[in-house]
Every structure is written in structure tokens, then in C-alpha cells.
A and B are shown apart, each in its own frame.
Chain A
Amino acid sequence: MAYAVEIQNIIKKFPSVTAVNDVTFNVDEGEIFGLLGPNGAGKTTLIRILTCIMKPTSGQAKIREFDVVRYPARVRRNIGVVSQAMTSDLDLTAWENMNIYAKYFDLPKKQRKENISYLLKIVELEDRAKDLVATYSGGMRRRLEIARGLVHRPYILFLDEPTIGLDPQSRRVIWDLLQKIRKETNLTIFITTHYMDEADVLCDRIAIIDYGKIVAMDSPSNLKRSIGGFDIIEVSLSNFTPSVMERLKAMKFIKEVAEKEGALRISVEDAAKSMPVLIEEFKKMGVSILYLAIHEQSLEDVFIHYTGKTIREAEAQKVNMFLGAGVPRQLPGSRI
């Protein structure tokens, strides 16, 4: 099967720093692939190489089998791009923004009209189509830019930090929107983010990038499993007795049980699978549940495992760049 994106040994060097350091991976058709890493890890540089905005120092990248350096014109016709910076024109209406963008791709008038109407409906902006973008909120503007990126029906959509700067509600709307678009069109989506929850919710597979290198790549659940450790189920029972503890310890799927201030911390491999069994067992024991909480392994744990630090610590080391996505003016020894 052909890959949507093929990346082989891509290196991008700036005068005093290597932004992307020998990166190799593929993205399947129809999947949502996430590039997760702190600001300055090399995500934007890589996405700029894949979208023909920047040339790699060495290595090869292909979109739909077209080499990004040798066939940039063909690549550009196959991609939709939503940049990290808001790039819609404030002085134009949503319709005008999309219509002009569609003209860049030589779309005939009838098709432009159909696509724009369809997409504005999908992103729920059809009522505001004739309003100037200057009157939009950040979330609305981002939705418009996603619609604009799809106006020519691309083969793959690249999104560079699509929810950066948005409030939690707007972020959720964008996630739902991307999932809806994928469901309806089977579009391949390549997304960069530094938000763990975003990568976890949206992506079929994730590559963790740090200092320009891919340090881990798999589905979110496999990544979490790969680092070992267990999910924790915290539970408080109405009539806890030592015999309950003994029976729990005897269960094979339970790795460890500890009691602290009247609450039990039960370690299991997979909390989602273990929960129904555990509830059933408590019923059989004749105890009732007063409180129950699950702490699953998170991507934050995965990130710490592979990089030795939290993503916030990594971000604290970033170079100060315009919107975090500029061509870096490197300081010696600094990160991208």
C-alpha cells in the first residue's frame, strides 16, 4: 500500500542548530497522525518541509509518492495547510477568503461555490459567511482556516498546532470538527501539537519529537503500554474488611492493592477492561462503592519516560521565536 507521507532521513540544519535530525517515518492513508513535542522541538520545521515551504538539508520526503523537493507543484496540489499563525485575511469575508484561496488551485466557479458552501456548513460558519473575518473569534477564525485548507479537496491536510491559543471549549469544537471531517471524507490528517490531550484524543498514531529527533512512535494506547506501569483504580467502600483485601489480592488481573486512609489503590494493566469485573466482584462480596476514580497512564507519562522531562520543562528551554514558528535566529547551542 502506498503511504500518504514517506519521510526518509530528513535533516534540516540552520547555521548553528539542527532543527530536524535524521527523521524517518511513514503516514498511512486515512489516518490521523500526530507529531507531538514541545515548542521548538522541530515540528513546524518538519511540517514546512512537507508542505514545500522549506527545503531540507538532506533526506527525502514524499507526499502521495511525489518528492517534495523535485515535484513541489504536484505536492502543493495535493495538500491543504492550516498554519500555526492565523493566516486568513481580516479585511475579507469568510466567503471571500475561501473563494480567493480556491482560485489559487484553479477551481472552476461552480466547484468553488459547491465546496465553499459545503465546508462552511461543516464548520458551522454558513451564517457568518458574509461577515468580515475581523469580527470573528479566534475559534471561528481557526474553523474557517480549516475549511479553507480543505476547499480544494486535498489528499492530505496538514495542521500546525491548530488549537494553540484557543480556549478549552473552542479546542473541543476543533477536535470534534476534525473527527467529523475524517469520518466523512476519510482524509489523511497530519497534525503537530504540544498538547498531550489533543494528541491522545485525535490521533491514530503519534510520533514524539524532541530536539529534532523522533524518540517514540505508535498509537497512544500502545505508547502508554510500552512504558510499563499500570492504571490505578481508586475506590472507597462502605464496609471494607481485611477479607475484602485478601480476595482482591487473589485476583489475577490485579497487580497490586494498597490501602491508604480508607481508600484502596488497585493497580491493573487496563482499567477500562478491569472495571466491570471489579464492580461485579464487589457486588458478590456484598460491599457497596462510595467513590471510584481511574488514573490511566497518560501521554505525559510517555513523554517523561522517553525524554526524561515533562513537556512544560521542555518548553521552558525553547528559543524565543515569533509565534513559536519562525525561522530561528539561533543562539549557539540553542534548540529550535
Chain B
Amino acid sequence: MRALAVAERDLKRFSRNPIVIFASILMPLVYLVIMGNSFQGELKHLSLAVVDQDNGPYARRVIELLQAMRDGPRTLDIVKLSDQKKAVDDVKNGFYKGALIIPPRFSEDVIKDVNPQIGLFLDNTDSISAAGISSAVSRSMGYLKSEYVSVRATIAKTQFRAVELYKKIDYDASLVPGIIVMAIFMGTTFTGAFSLVMDKFLGIHESYLSTPLTKMDIVIGIIISGVFITTLMAFIVMMGGMFITGIKLAGGLTSFILLIFTIVLTALGLLSMIFMVLGRADHPRIVGVTIGFLNVIFYFPSGAVYPIESLPGWLKAFAAVNPEAYAVHALKALILKGSGFVAVQNDLIFLAAFTGIMLFFATITFKRTM
């Protein structure tokens, strides 16, 4: 009987918290939709730069077949460039997933049957996309073979030489940037707005509402402490992740400074966003539910665990405004490739703009009075 009384109390409390009930039902469904669409999709629209230094008939044929991959299963997005160096640099800077170089005299080599070769430079820090491109190009060569069995050439001997631009990176190592972003997000769950919600829950906030502190003082102050703790956490997680997966920072001092800056900016952006969402919440339970929800919808479509290219259109559109996607992209470039400013400038611009907008709304939605 006593146990039933305990159960009755618990059930009544649960039933009188509609947010928790709603979240309990909604969360598994959100997981289903987001995670389901994040992992199972086919890779599409992998960007491939093609440099044709041959301009011969077989080079054109190779490009036609690659374009067929674009028009058919839409695996590849082909961009023609003229400069090999620029193409490879653009891959390093994350603008393309790979660069296909058709060397001079390729057609001639095909015709003469003297071991014709095509170069394929791959961004192997994204191992899944790299494998996807490699596979798509290989399949194209297969079609080339079947269509061009002729008396003049033995195209079967054409080889493409895949060049991995970076030291081999295992899948677990490629997760490190995503784990750092997750650490930043987790940091926002018990700092920042959470401190404010706990103050409200305990009634402590009255002690500072009656002081000269302005809205801006409170918002900025809480975010500063959140950024400090979150950055420190992210840094420790980064070191731990690198130790466990055995990778080292690929870049130099500039890359390292950009790395810290990216972490701070990401922390600022996420803390501001959480502040905007939870600035008026008054119960820690609301924080738990909201954080769980946001974690799913931001983390999985961020490219942290699977390429954004595999996402369906609606989720890819969301990824385009997902701050974690930009953070993951920048951290991958800085940690795994040792890239410079050019590779992450778009990410930093987005994160800065996102932070500014979120901070603005966090301040105006925060209520200074009860």
C-alpha cells in the first residue's frame, strides 16, 4: 500500500507536467526522423573538381561519363577548373571533396596503349565521401571500358591513381571534431542559461534583479562564464580524443589559434542560442527536455558522424543553417588537415553572424523583472 502511495505521487506529478509527457513522446520520434535520415541516405552531390589538361577525345569522354553520374544518380557535382594547383588547394580548403586531374597526352596514351593514367586527389579526412567519389569515378571508368572496346584502343588499361592528400585518418579519428562540438554543446547544458534557470528555481535570482545589473550585464556575464568553462571542457575533450585515436594536430600555430577561436565562437553561438531558448524557463526539467531535443536535431545533421551530402533535401537545408555543421567543418579542416584561414573563413563568418543574432535575441527576450 505504501509503495502504491509512492507510485501514485510520482504518477500524479508526471501527469501534471505536460512538457515532459510531450517530450517523452516526441523525442523518440525525433530520433527516428533525424537519425534515420542522417545515416542511411545515399551519398549525393559530392563536389569534384575536374582539370582537363589533355583536351583530347578520351578526356572529353571521361568528363561526359562523370557528368552522366551527375545527371543520373547525382552522386557527383562536376566543376571544371583549368589549374591543377588551384583544384588541389580547393580540395585542401574544403571547397571540393576531390579533384580529378586528366594529364596531358592522356588521349594519346589511350590510343597508343601506353598505360594511360588519371589522377584523383581525395580529401580523405572525410573518409566516407572520399570512398564515395573513388567508387563513382571507378564506376565511370567501368562504363568507359564497356563502351570503348575498339580496334584502336584498349581502354581497359586506363588507370586512375587515387592520391590521398592527408595521412591516413581512421573513422574514429574523423569523429574527433564532432566530439569537440558535442562537448561544447554539453557545456551549454550546465552553464549559461542553465545557471539562470537554477537561480530562478531556487529563488536566488531575486538577489541580483534588485541590483543595478542590466539585462545586458546578466546575459553577457552568464555567457562569458559559460564560454570559459565550455572552452576549457572542449579543449580537454579534444586532447583526450586525439590521445585515444592517435592523431596529432596537422597544422601550425595559425591553425591552432584558429582552432581555439573556432571553439570559442562555437561556444558563444551555442550558449547565446540556448540563452534565447531558455531565458524565460523557470524549471530545470524544461532545460533537460529542451537540451535533449536540440542535441539530436543539431548534432546528427552536422556532418560530425556522416557526410551532409547523404542527407535528404529538407535535412540538408537545415544543415545549411545549423551552427554545428559549420563548427564541425571548420574543426575538421583545422585539426585533420591543418588548414589556414581560407578553409574556415566561411564557417567563422557564419558562426559570428549566428552568435550576433542569437545574442541580440537572447538579450531582448530575457526578462529583467518577474
- Could you tell me which A residues sit within 8 Å of B by CB distance? 48, 51-55, 73, 76-77, 79, 81, 83-89, 101, 104-106, 145, 148, 158, 322-323, 325, 327
- Given A48-B370, A54-B370, A55-B369, the answer on whether A87 and B207 have CB atoms closer than 8 Å is yes
Task: Kindly specify which of B41-49, B167-175, B208-216, B246-254 makes contact with the partner chain.
Answer: B208-216
Considering the chains assembled together, what is the distance between the CA atoms of A144 and B214 in angstroms? Answer: 24
- How far in angstroms is the closest Cβ of chain B from A224? 33
Instruction: Tell me, yes or no, whether B18 is within 8 Å of chain A by CB.
Output: no
- Given A53-B369, A53-B370, A54-B370, the answer on whether A88 and B211 have CB atoms closer than 8 Å is no
Instruction: Kindly list chain A residues whose C-beta atoms are within 8 Å of the C-beta of B202.
Output: 85
Instruction: Tell me, yes or no, whether B29 is within 8 Å of chain A by CB.
Output: no
Please state if A325 and B203 are interface contacts (CB–CB under 8 Å).
Answer: yes
Please state if B370 and A323 are interface contacts (CB–CB under 8 Å).
Answer: no
Please state if B210 and A53 are interface contacts (CB–CB under 8 Å).
Answer: yes
Instruction: Tell me, yes or no, whether B204 is within 8 Å of chain A by CB.
Output: yes
- How far in angstroms is the closest Cβ of chain B from A161? 12
Please state if A87 and B203 are interface contacts (CB–CB under 8 Å).
Answer: yes
Instruction: Kindly list chain A residues whose C-beta atoms are within 8 Å of the C-beta of B206.
Output: 53, 81, 83, 85, 87
Please state if B203 and A323 are interface contacts (CB–CB under 8 Å).
Answer: yes
Closest A residue to B211 using CB positions: A104
Q: Name the contact of A85 in the complex, choosing from B203, B212, B213 (C-beta under 8 A).
A: B203
A-B contact pairs, 29 of them (CB 8 A): A51-B210, A53-B206, A53-B209, A53-B370, A54-B370, A55-B369, A73-B214, A76-B210, A77-B212, A81-B207, A81-B210, A83-B203, A83-B206, A83-B207, A84-B203, A85-B204, A85-B206, A87-B203, A87-B205, A88-B207, A101-B211, A104-B208, A104-B211, A104-B212, A104-B213, A106-B212, A148-B207, A158-B210, A322-B203
Q: Give the total of B residues in contact with A, Cβ under 8 Å.
A: 15
Considering the chains assembled together, what is the distance between the CA atoms of A293 and B208 in angstroms? Answer: 48
Please state if B369 and A105 are interface contacts (CB–CB under 8 Å).
Answer: no
Interface centre among A52, A77, A145 (most CB of B within 10 A): A52
Considering the chains assembled together, what is the distance between the CA atoms of A88 and B203 in angstroms? Answer: 10
Instruction: Kindly list chain B residues whose C-beta atoms are within 8 Å of the C-beta of A101.
Output: 207, 211
Please state if A79 and B210 are interface contacts (CB–CB under 8 Å).
Answer: yes
Q: Name the contact of A89 in the complex, choosing from B204, B212, B214 (C-beta under 8 A).
A: B204
Considering the chains assembled together, what is the distance between the CA atoms of A88 and B204 in angstroms? Answer: 7
- How far in angstroms is the closest Cβ of chain A from B112? 79
Considering the chains assembled together, what is the distance between the CA atoms of A55 and B369 in angstroms? Answer: 8
Closest A residue to B206 using CB positions: A83
Instruction: Kindly list chain A residues whose C-beta atoms are within 8 Å of the C-beta of B205.
Output: 87
Instruction: Kindly list chain B residues whose C-beta atoms are within 8 Å of the C-beta of A86.
Output: 203
Instruction: Kindly list chain B residues whose C-beta atoms are within 8 Å of the C-beta of A88.
Output: 207
Interface contacts beyond A73-B214, A327-B370: sample of 14 additional A-B pairs, CB < 8 Å, sorted by A: A53-B210, A54-B369, A54-B370, A73-B212, A77-B212, A81-B207, A83-B203, A83-B206, A84-B203, A101-B207, A101-B211, A145-B207, A322-B203, A323-B203
